[in-house]
Amino acid sequence: MTFEKIHWLGEHLRCSVCFSAPLARADDAWKCYGCGATFEDVAHSSNFISDEMMIDFNIIENLKASDHPYNPTAVELIAKVEQIGGMVLDCGAGSRTFTSEHLIQTEIMPYANVDILAVNQSLPFVDNAFDVIFSFDVLEHVTDPFVSARELARVLKPGGLLYVDLPFLQLEHGYPHHYFNATRMGLRQLFADILKVEAHVVPESGHPTHLLWTALNTYRNGLPKDDRAGFENLTIGEILAAPWKDLRGSRFGKAISSEAKWKMASATQAMFAKESTGDDDATALSVEISNLPNFRNRESFMG
């Protein structure tokens, strides 16, 4: 990091333990005057992810990072912030080749472009720090997107802009975990009562043809090799000619791999149990879940 960026961070970082600010920089680390906590650098990134956070937010190493270039809107917003001498936060930046003196990039791994290691649910910045914030294909990968949304709003300056991209009908994918997709109403609900919606669109990258292509491609690749050619030869008309349940019962429906089935599931069902403590109000119910109709002979994901 350059001297200018370190100077800015010194005025805008806050302790992730006691929330005191500002922090002092010394010997490749940030030090909190309030509680004495030290946040050491990992490679070239300042680390604000504690061991407790790693456990609480299910953070694991992610070597397969997204590496998409900034889209034209993001590039223009960065340029505008540079003109006013402000700062942009890319919260969950992935591995990017572009950096700027006016751009702070956070991640859970110390990729070459990353300034700060941090979790979205607990950002190590003071309130009202950034003129613009990016959150591109990140909120589906955090354990609690509502907490993350409040953190993004907290560190955004009054009058600032939050630019969000969040999947709706996308297949399950990792970086490294995938928890929540959102409908158009769901995305707005994340920021209801804390930020005002200025615009909401379907971008080219979110066009329905992306869903069609990825769904068909993933389904085809989830079939045994001997069945793939037959599936490819089906016309759209043949697929739509009968109810979807007929396709489910066909050889193409029965042969799909377990991994492809989980990635593309139209819905999943789960059974949860409350741990018994032996209290008097505990239920006397005894059920073998694997014998229930919808769970019988089904592969269960327990990861």
pLDDT in tens, 48-91: 999 999 999 999 877 667 778 899 999 999 999 999 999 999 99
The pair of structure tokens assigned to 235 is: 């016309």
Choose the final residue of a domain: 167, 188, 205. Answer: 205
- In the numeric block, the tokens 């029965």 are attached to 254
The closest alpha carbon to 106, from 59, 150, 46, belongs to: 46
Residues 125 and 191 in one domain: yes
pLDDT of residue 34 exceeding 70: yes
Question: Is the residue at 163 inside a domain?
Answer: yes
- Which one-letter DSSP state was computed for residue 109? S
CB burial of residue 60 (10 Å; 0-12, 13-18, 19+): exposed
pLDDT of residue 98 exceeding 60: yes
Question: CA-CA distance, 44 to 283, in Å (whole number)?
Answer: 54
pLDDT of residue 183 exceeding 70: yes
Residues 168 and 251 in one domain: no
pLDDT-derived band at 281, boundaries 50, 70, 90: confident
Contact 116, 202 (CB under 8 A): no
CA torsion angle 46 10 126 43 (round to 10): -10
Counting Cα atoms < 13 Å in the Cβ hemisphere of 213 gives: 6
Tally the domains of the chain.
2
Question: Is the residue at 28 inside a domain?
Answer: no
Query: How high is the pLDDT of residue 106?
Result: 97
Question: CA-CA distance, 295 to 274, in Å (whole number)?
Answer: 19
Residues 76 and 171 in one domain: yes
Q: Which residue has the higher pLDDT, 167 or 296?
A: 167
Residues 145 and 231 in one domain: no
Is pTM beyond 0.85 here? Answer: yes
- Which one-letter DSSP state was computed for residue 65? -
Percent of the chain with pLDDT over 90: 67
Question: Is the residue at 293 inside a domain?
Answer: no
Question: Is the residue at 241 inside a domain?
Answer: yes
Question: Is the residue at 36 inside a domain?
Answer: no
What is the residue range of 76's domain?
A: 44-205
Query: How high is the pLDDT of residue 298?
Result: 73
Residues 99 and 131 in one domain: yes
Residues 177 and 249 in one domain: no
Residues 218 and 96 in one domain: no
Query: How high is the pLDDT of residue 112?
Result: 93
Give every CB contact of residue 78 below 8 A, 6+ residues apart in sequence. 70, 88, 100, 102, 103, 132
Question: Is the residue at 9 inside a domain?
Answer: no
Choose the final residue of a domain: 163, 183, 205. Answer: 205
- In the numeric block, the tokens 């019962």 are attached to 249
Q: Is 160 helix (H, G, I), strand (E, B) or coil?
A: strand
Query: How high is the pLDDT of residue 11?
Result: 96
Contacts 24+ apart (CB under 8 A), 225-232: 227/251, 227/252, 227/255
Residues 118 and 189 in one domain: yes
Q: Which amino acid appears at position 150 of this protein?
A: R
- Which one-letter DSSP state was computed for residue 68? P
Choose the final residue of a domain: 205, 225, 249. Answer: 205
3-state secondary structure 274-289: CCCCCCCCCCCCCCCH
Question: Is the residue at 91 inside a domain?
Answer: yes
Question: What average pLDDT is seen over the chain?
Answer: 90
Question: Is the residue at 5 inside a domain?
Answer: no
Strands (E), the chain: 23-25, 29-32, 38-42, 45-47, 88-91, 103-107, 116-117, 130-136, 156-165
Q: Is 33 helix (H, G, I), strand (E, B) or coil?
A: coil
Residue 133: phi and psi, rounded to 5, are -130, 135
Question: CA-CA distance, 108 to 177, in Å (whole number)?
Answer: 12
Query: How high is the pLDDT of residue 285?
Result: 67
- Read off the pLDDT of each residue in 293-302 and give the average, rounded to a whole number: 74
Residues 101 and 244 in one domain: no
Residues 218 and 178 in one domain: no
Q: Which CATH number is 101's domain given? A: 3.40.50.150
Residues 58 and 155 in one domain: yes
Residues 100 and 180 in one domain: yes
Query: How high is the pLDDT of residue 302?
Result: 59
- Read off the pLDDT of each residue in 103-130 and give the average, rounded to a whole number: 96
Contact 37, 17 (CB under 8 A): yes
Question: CA-CA distance, 292 to 269, in Å (whole number)?
Answer: 12
Contact 135, 91 (CB under 8 A): yes
